[in-house]
Structure formats: C-alpha cells, structure tokens
C-alpha cells in the first residue's frame, strides 16, 4: 500500500467512525422525541409547535455558522430530522378532545382520504363507524346516537349523500370534505337543523400525518358546537384556516381548478406534439424536471377526480376563459415582436407578487435541489 492509499484509508476510517457516532446520536434523539410525543399526547398538546421549530432552526444555524459550517446545510438536516421526529411523535397516538362524543361516522370512510381520518379518530380513542354504498339499508342504525358525521365522497355524489342524511340527531355535527363549499354547505344546512360545517383538507391521501397540513373551515351553523372538532384537528398537527364558503370557492378556482386545467393542457400538448419524454428528462434543468414531475404525477392519478374538480362549478369555465384570453394576449405581443409590452407586463406582475416573489425564489431553491437529487443517472 502506497503512502496515498494509507493516508486516505486513515481519513476514511475516521469519517466512518464519525458517521457511526452520528447514527448513535440520531437514535438517541429519536428516543427523546418519542417521549415528547407521548407527553404531548397525554396533555392534548399539538404535535407541531411552530415557534419551537423556528427558534431551534435559528439557534442551530447561528451555531453552525460560528463553527464554520453552512447554515443552509444544518437547516436542511434539522428539517429532515424534525420530519422523522413528527412521525415518531405521531406514533404515540393522540388525546381525545371530546370524550363525550358518542360516535363518529365517516361516509366514504373506506376511501383514501376518508380512511386517513378514520384512522386518526380511532387512534384518538373515538368510536368510529363507516358508511359505504352497501350500508345505506342499515344507515339508520349506524347513524343513531351519532355526534359527528363527515361526508367524504366524490364531488358528483356529495349532494345525493347529503340528502340521505336528513334524520340525524339534532345535536349531531354534519360536515363534508368536498373541494367546493358553497353548494354542499347550503345542502347540509337545508337537510339538517343542527351544527353544520364545511371542511376542505388541503392534502391528498398519501400524507403520513396531518403535521403542517392545512384544513380550510367554512362556518355553517352553531359554530360553538364544533370547536372541539377543530381543536382535535390542531392536536393532530393541522393548521386551521377559516374563510367564507364563497371566498373558498373563488380561491379554489385559481388554486386548484385553473392550475389543474393548465397542467392537463400542457401534458396534452406534449403528447400531441409527439414529445420524447425520456429525451426531455435527460435534457432538463432542475426547474424543468420539477415541472415535468408535477405534470406527470397528475396523469398518474384518477382522471375522474380531476374532472369532478374542474367540472364542479360553472364559474370555473368563466375563469378559464379569462386565463385563455390573457394567454392569447401575451402570445399576440410575442407574435408582434413587442418585447417592451412583454417586459412591462412582467414588471407589473413582479410588483404584484411583492415580497412573496423573493420568498418563493428562496423556497424553490430547496425544491430544485431535491428534484435534482431524484435523478436516477
């Protein structure tokens, strides 16, 4: 063995020893965070503590920079550790915020999203029942002595299901998980005289927990009667965002409908142009790879889900027409070679985004690094 080989072996052995110590420390950290989860569960404290997380990251960044390390590196490591910590704390179960709740019924509880909440309610100690299509003949018995009913079915079936829930106990909370809110909220208040609330979980069924996830709440009737439910969501780690039903539907036409529609149109365009996906991937920059990931993941899912969302509200068509008009307006500037008009528009939009533009640029850098790491070759 020459001098180089000997020296590199010594250094690599030292690195291996340090890595081994890191693994042991991480295992020790996991043991402590699991105890934290158990304590939070006992006291009914939300798993996610944003102030604690922000303070921890700030202190460790400062410590890292004083030690000559990259603050970004340490923040990346910490955020990855905290994600695992939340999972370990989640395994401890949760406190039942309302022990007086007789029963929770989830209509569509065997579905993907409904199943997430069935699991969470059970792990919090609630009695949970499920109604699926074949259970309706026996629904009166299932719904008897029920404190909460959640409708978690496809949009096209929501109204039909709601109208079958016209004999609930007067103090029962009736809620839905639909991605449109005005119409279902109106229908629920029409068939049920008790507490009513519209809910929209802003995540899919592939989540491992509700940590840092958002649930939009649209108040219906008897708000005080369902505050325990909102607190239960927060104990599970969710962020509650309250907005009127009309405001929700207006926002969703831009956040969901228009985004889904434009993504579908882009995928359709790539196919119609005969684009070679493998070739595009091999030549893609990190940002374009991320774009392809977002387009491709949509087409890996159920088309009925997206058609339900896009076709759910006639107002969506008006919004998409305005989007198409502005697309053609910009295309006209390009066709005319009017670069000045294009730059003016760009500056106007940049001004409209304000500080969010810089914030999003910083966030996207982390996302781009992860997208680049996903490359197989």
Q: Are 281 and 293 in contact (CB under 8 A)?
A: no
Q: Tokens for 6? A: 């000997």
CA distance 278 to 185: 46
What is the edge-to-edge ordering of all strands in the sheet holding 239-242? 128-131, 104-107, 148-151, 173-176, 196-201, 214-221, 239-242
CA distance 196 to 220: 5
pLDDT of residue 100: 96
pLDDT of residue 81: 86
Question: Which CATH superfamily, name and number, covers 104-243?
Answer: NAD(P)-binding Rossmann-like Domain (3.40.50.720)
pLDDT of residue 125: 93
Backbone angles phi, psi at 261, to 5 degrees: -65, -45
Share of the chain above pLDDT 90, in %: 65
- 223 burial (CB, 10 Å; 0-12 / 13-18 / 19+) is middle
pLDDT of residue 51: 86
Determine the topology of domain 3-90 in CATH.
Chorismate Mutase Domain, subunit A (1.20.59)
Sign of CA dihedral 104, 149, 205, 249: negative
Q: Are 217 and 185 in contact (CB under 8 A)?
A: no
Q: Tokens for 319? A: 């919004």
Chain centroid, CA 196 distance in Å: 23
How do residues 111-121 score in pLDDT, each as one tens digit?
A: 999 999 999 99
Angle at 58 between CA 53 and CA 59, to 5 degrees: 100
pLDDT of residue 374: 61
User: How is the chain split into domains, by residue range?
Assistant: 3-90, 104-243, 248-373
CA distance 232 to 245: 22
pLDDT of residue 143: 95
Q: What pTM, to 2 d.p., does this model score? A: 0.82
How do residues 33-66 score in pLDDT, each as one tens digit?
A: 888 878 887 777 777 788 888 898 999 999 989 9
Residues of the chain below pLDDT 70: 1, 88-92, 370-377
């Amino acid at each position: 063995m020459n001098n180089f080989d000997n020296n590199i072996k010594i250094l690599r052995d030292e690195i291996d020893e340090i890595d081994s110590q890191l693994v042991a420390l991480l295992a020790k950290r996991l043991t402590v965070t699991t105890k934290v989860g158990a304590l939070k569960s006992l006291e009914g404290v939300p798993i996610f503590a944003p102030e604690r997380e922000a303070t921890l990251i700030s202190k460790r960044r400062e410590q890292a920079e004083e030690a000559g390390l990259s603050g970004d590196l340490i923040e990346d490591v910490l955020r990855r550790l905290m994600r695992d910590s939340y999972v370990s704390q989640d395994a401890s179960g949760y406190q039942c915020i309302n022990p007086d709740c007789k029963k929770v019924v989830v209509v569509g509880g065997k579905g993907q999203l409904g199943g997430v909440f069935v699991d969470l309610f059970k792990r919090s100690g609630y009695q949970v029942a499920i109604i699926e299509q074949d259970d309706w003949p026996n629904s009166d018995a299932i719904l008897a002595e029920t404190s909460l009913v959640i409708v978690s079915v496809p949009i096209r079936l929501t109204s039909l299901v709601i109208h079958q829930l016209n004999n609930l106990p007067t103090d029962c909370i009736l809620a839905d998980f639909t991605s449109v809110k005005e119409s279902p909220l109106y229908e629920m208040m029409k068939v049920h005289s008790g507490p009513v609330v519209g809910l929209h979980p802003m995540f899919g069924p592939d989540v491992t927990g509700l940590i840092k996830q958002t649930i939009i709440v649209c108040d219906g009737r008897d708000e005080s009667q369902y505050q325990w439910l909102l607190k239960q969501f927060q104990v599970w780690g969710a962020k509650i965002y309250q907005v009127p039903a009309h405001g929700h539907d207006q926002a969703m036409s831009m956040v969901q409908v228009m985004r889904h529609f434009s993504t579908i149109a882009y995928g359709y365009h790539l196919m119609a142009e005969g684009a070679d996906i493998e070739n595009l991937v091999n030549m893609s920059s990190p940002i374009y790879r991320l774009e392809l990931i977002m387009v491709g993941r949509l087409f890996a899912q159920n088309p009925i889900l997206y058609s339900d969302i896009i076709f759910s509200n006639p107002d969506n068509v008006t919004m998409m027409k305005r989007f198409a008009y502005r697309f053609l307006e910009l295309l006209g500037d390009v066709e005319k070679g009017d670069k000045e008009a294009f730059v003016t528009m760009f500056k106007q939009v940049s001004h409209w985004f304000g500080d969010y533009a810089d914030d999003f640029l910083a966030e996207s850098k982390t996302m781009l690094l992860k997208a680049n790491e996903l490359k197989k070759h």
